[in-house]
Amino acid sequence: MEVIINSPLGNIRIVESENRIIELSFSKKKTKQLPDNDFLKSASIQLNEYFSGKRKEFELEMAPKGTDFQQKVWDELLKIPYGVTISYLELANRLGDPKTIRAAAGANGKNPIGIIIPCHRVIGSHGEMTGYAGGIEKKKALLKLEGASVMNQLEMF
């Protein structure tokens, strides 16, 4: 089952299966009226709270589909606190091997549950904004919403 909700950054599509989110992405489709599904209602409410600054952590079951390595990367992303950014190299180091930087970046980019699994909190080693499935402007907006220190530094220049 799915729903498309409005957000300050555009429409967001939430897909669930067995009361677990399997996909969350930006969508060009128009919003759909909320189905009679308590789980999707809860997910929508929590996202609205996030965008209004009232929520820093999500309380939703997820079941992203991916390889074992991708799952390991996505689990590591969940450990990055609200408002904090790390580099791709730091992500690879946290996975235990700095040589996995490209693979970690690739898994980060294939994250099927954006925002909730915070792939937007991973940036380049020198603070540069690198790829984001929703677009760099959305990544910047999410980091600014969270008050990430990298955004404050970038806005000085």
Average pLDDT, stretch 98-105? 93
Asked if the model's pLDDT at residue 110 lies above 50, the reply is: yes
How do residues 18-40 score in pLDDT, each as one tens digit?
A: 999 999 999 988 877 666 789 99
Eight-class DSSP state of 115: T
Would you say the C-alpha torsion 55, 56, 60, 66 has a positive or negative sign?
positive
pTM of the model: 0.89
**Which residues, 6 or more positions from 34, have their beta carbon under 8 angstroms from its beta carbon?**
3, 5, 40, 41, 44
User: Which of these ranges, 82-86, 144-148, 149-153, has the smallest mean pLDDT?
Assistant: 149-153
pLDDT at 156: 40
Tell me the one-letter amino acid at 116: I
- C-alpha–C-alpha distance, residues 24 and 64, integer Å: 10
Q: Is 119 a catalytic residue?
A: yes
Q: What is the mean pLDDT of residues 61-69?
A: 97
When the pLDDT of each residue in the chain is averaged and rounded to a whole number, the result is 90
pLDDT at 92: 96
Options 60, 92, 119, 123, the catalytic residue: 119
CA nearest neighbour of 28 among 10, 43, 9, 44: 10
pLDDT of 76 over the 80 cut: yes
Q: What is the pLDDT of residue 85?
A: 94
